[in-house]
């Protein structure tokens, strides 16, 4: 049972404890210790309503969508498209601007490969504006997740375009004073993260979008760590494309989405081809449906989309503003607590910088994997490694870090238990 939304007011510990009743896994024990789940930045947990939504679909309306005239097929199609409407409404988009994908990685690759196809001459005259070639540039940032870096490296390699990046300062923040020179008249695409999955900081989307618009470049936003945690409206952000994943926002795995401005999607050539995305097919040629169907070849992720809609309903009923405010409190508690510990360095700007409830850190003299195992022995689940952001870690002089990430179901007591455990790491490993 979600708590009533009250915009402007963060959740309370009492409300969070009630929320936790909707997540059976949070009552688990790990090695005899109560589970403290602080890895939602990788994968969030599912409320009962999400599991029930998928089960109800399989029990009551399992059928192929957009392909049959029988009652089950119609019911399945209606539920599938209703889910699209729910997710589109969450981000302020229209239904024809939301394309289902398997995850955000696929969504980002979809944009990159569509531009590649346009650069190869596919899509006709309408797609020529998306073509890249020698002399053109693609701009990313030094803090990107590999999913928003490698696809653009590949696009540059296929088209002959150059790849540039906006650098970071020593605290891990974007050097915005250099962005204006990195983004210039040669720039065709600017791809950047809304919220860093390592640093937790919220990037100035409006500033970067303004720079891109001034030179006519497309903007692609990685919103994996923002859509689950912040109110996000694509029309207010002014971006052209945005990718996010269901499994980071209480939804099932295997479902993600790409937002694209309708007039752009309408002119982009498809990437995956086959059934369900065509108008007519001869032995020589094929014609393609308008978006979003053009980009949804083959059997779709029906139950996952329905489950994601249930997750979005859970989030909106709780209140995205309240979730944002609660996580901001947890984020401050995390950072201040970690900064108070000897030998512990928080990655990125310190307390006081706007962030989600996430903090990555380095323990002097102890490898991140050892930190993670130590915490796991106390029932605390965190993420260790480079978090699919090797260039960022390299810029900060590290190969790996430990990351704690919270969500609407985490309490201040859990954050305090985590901080108490981290305080004992260096002593346990003899690194003091």
Whole-angstrom Cα Rg for the chain: 22
Q: Residue 254 CA to chain centroid, in angstroms?
A: 13
Which two structure tokens, joined as six digits, stand for 285? 């040629």
Which two structure tokens, joined as six digits, stand for 275? 């059934």
CB 162 within 8 A of CB 137: yes
How would you class 283 by CB atoms within 10 Å of its CB: exposed for 0-12, middle for 13-18, buried for 19 or more?
A: exposed
Query: What secondary structure does DSSP assign to 235-303, as a single string?
Result: HHHT-SEEEEEGGGTT--SS-EEEEE-HHHHTTSPPSS-STTSEEEE-SS-EEEPPTTGGG--SS--HH
d(CA 334, CA 315): 23
Q: Residue 212 CA to chain centroid, in angstroms?
A: 21
Provide φ and ψ at 243, rounded to 5°: -120, 140
Q: Which of the following is catalytic: 388, 390, 395, 412?
A: 388
d(CA 112, CA 220): 10
Alpha carbons within 13 angstroms on the beta-carbon side of residue 28 total 14
Hey, is 172 helix, strand or coil? Answer: coil
CB 415 within 8 A of CB 336: no
Which two structure tokens, joined as six digits, stand for 14? 């009492």
d(CA 173, CA 223): 17
Provide φ and ψ at 405, rounded to 5°: -135, 130
Hey, is 386 helix, strand or coil? Answer: coil
d(CA 424, CA 406): 21
The question of whether 388 is a catalytic residue gets the answer yes
Q: Tell me the catalytic residues.
A: 388
């Amino acid at each position: 049972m979600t708590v009533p939304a009250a915009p402007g007011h963060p959740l309370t510990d009492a409300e969070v404890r009630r929320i936790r009743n909707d997540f059976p896994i949070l009552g688990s024990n790990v090695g005899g210790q109560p589970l403290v789940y602080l890895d939602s930045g990788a994968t969030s947990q599912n409320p009962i309503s999400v599991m029930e939504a998928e089960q109800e679909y399989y029990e009551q309306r399992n059928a192929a969508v957009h392909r049959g005239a029988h009652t089950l097929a119609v019911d399945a199609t209606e539920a599938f498209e209703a889910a699209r409407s729910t997710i589109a409404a969450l981000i302020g988009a229209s239904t024809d601007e939301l394309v289902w994908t398997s995850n955000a990685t696929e969504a980002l690759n979809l944009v990159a490969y569509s531009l590649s196809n346009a650069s190869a001459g596919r899509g006709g005259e309408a797609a020529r504006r998306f073509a890249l070639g020698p002399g053109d540039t693609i701009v990313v940032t030094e803090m990107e997740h590999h999913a928003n870096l490698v696809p653009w490296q590949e696009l540059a390699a296929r088209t002959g375009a150059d790849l540039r990046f906006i650098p970071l300062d020593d605290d891990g923040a974007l050097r915005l004073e250099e962005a204006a020179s990195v983004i210039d008249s040669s720039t065709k695409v600017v791809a950047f993260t809304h919220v860093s999955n390592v640093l937790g900081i919220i990037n100035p989307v409006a500033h970067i979008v303004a720079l891109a618009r001034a030179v006519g470049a497309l903007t692609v936003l990685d919103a994996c760590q923002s859509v689950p945690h912040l109110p996000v409206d694509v029309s207010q952000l002014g971006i052209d494309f945005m990718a996010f994943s269901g499994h980071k926002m209480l939804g099932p795995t295997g479902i993600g989405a790409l937002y694209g401005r309708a007039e752009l999607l309408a002119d982009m050539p498809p990437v995956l081809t086959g059934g369900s995305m065509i108008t007519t097919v001869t032995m020589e040629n094929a014609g393609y449906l308008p978006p979003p169907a053009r980009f949804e070849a083959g059997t779709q992720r029906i139950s996952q989309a329905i489950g994601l809609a249930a997750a979005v309903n859970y989030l909106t009923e709780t209140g995205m503003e309240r979730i944002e405010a609660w996580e901001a409190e947890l984020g401050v508690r995390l950072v201040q607590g970690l900064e108070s510990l000897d030998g512990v360095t928080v990655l990125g700007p310190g307390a006081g910088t706007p962030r989600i409830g996430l903090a990555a850190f380095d323990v002097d003299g102890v490898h991140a994997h050892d930190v993670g195992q130590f915490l796991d022995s106390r029932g605390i689940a965190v993420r260790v490694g480079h978090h699919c952001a090797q260039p960022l870690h390299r810029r900060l002089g590290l190969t790996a870090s430990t990351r704690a990430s919270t969500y609407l179901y985490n309490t201040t007591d859990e954050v305090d238990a985590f901080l108490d455990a981290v305080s004992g790491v260096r002593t346990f490993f003899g690194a003091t």
